[in-house]
Amino acid sequence: MSNGSTPPASRRRARTFRPAPTAPAVLAVLAALGCAGCGALGGGTASEGGSGPDRPAAAGQHTPKAGPDDDTASKDGSRERGTAAGGGPLKGKVVVIDPGHNPTNRDHTAEIARQVDVGNARKECDTTGTSTDAGYAEADFTLDVARRARTLLRKEGVRVVFTQDGDKPYGPCVDERAEIGNTAHADAAISIHADGAGAGNRGFHVIRPGVVHAGGADTRKITGPSRDLADHIVGRFVAATGSAPANYINDGKGLDTRTDLGGLNLSRVPKVFLECGNMRDAQDAAHLTDPAWRQKAAAGIAEGLTGFLRR
């Protein structure tokens, strides 16, 4: 759940519940977005064996810290040296992945409550995120999916930078997360989340930056390419996971536009937020806690990003 990503209670109460789109509706989304060639990276079930930073955590289990070969961002936003991406077709491209929240934010409530400037407002540095009713934390989910996506992107030659990899005591703050993408001169950036809406609200959605020109925020140059990136992510995510666009956001289109998220407002590179599903809905939670489904989600993210990079 991104900082402020779930609409206020007054807006949620105004919604009328609509069932998740049927299979024909999902296919219509793919057709509308021209999702030819979806599944190029594959979304099969991941092996649960092995070791290292890409090994998935079991549902409800704290995600282990990153290994020494990870390309994470240092405190000032610069990239630390790690294992370079291979010589794939997208060598030279840089993607920043922002795993939403931090597993140990819960131990630093005072620090994450600090207000930071997001251009048109001041917001909390970060939040703890949400969880399933059984206690599987959003922050553990986002790290697991992000690491799986990183593995797939590296095979294509992409250099992947993380905003955090379980290696920071809390945060980083939303303004720092945006700056990491800016400093890396990323070709694309994505913030991975899961929503905390009411039960019965199902599906995923992608949040695009709206036009903000205030204080240190100026999204005017990135709104167009960010919309293109969002379209790629929506189409590939549908194809890879079989999930339907959210039935509680923007009439089931899988897309939303926001001007109140610091990670988007302060970005100078094409960027979107992805809410992979609703952790508070039992059916969505069953997917989010399933390692095989998380591998499919990672494939959808990686395919959306590589499709955007190849355009």
31-63 pLDDT per residue, tens:
555 543 344 444 333 222 322 333 333 343 444
State the catalytic residues: 275
* pLDDT of 188 higher than 90: yes
DSSP track, the chain: --TTTSPPHHHHHHPPP-PPPPHHHHHHHHHHTT-TTTTTT---PPPS---STTSPPPTTSPPPPP-TT--BB-TTSPBPP-PPP-S-TTTT-EEEEEESS-TTGGG-HHHHTSEEE-SSSEEES-----B-TT--BHHHHHHHHHHHHHHHHHHTT-EEEES-SS-SSS---HHHHHHHHHHTT-SEEEEEEEE---TT---BEEEEE---EETTEE-TTTHHHHHHHHHHHHHHHHHHH-PPBPTTSGGGTSEEEES--HHHHT-SS-EEEEEEEETTSHHHHHHHT-HHHHHHHHHHHHHHHHHHHH-
103-121 pLDDT per residue, tens:
999 999 999 999 999 999 9
pTM of the model: 0.81
Q: What does the pLDDT read at residue 72? A: 60
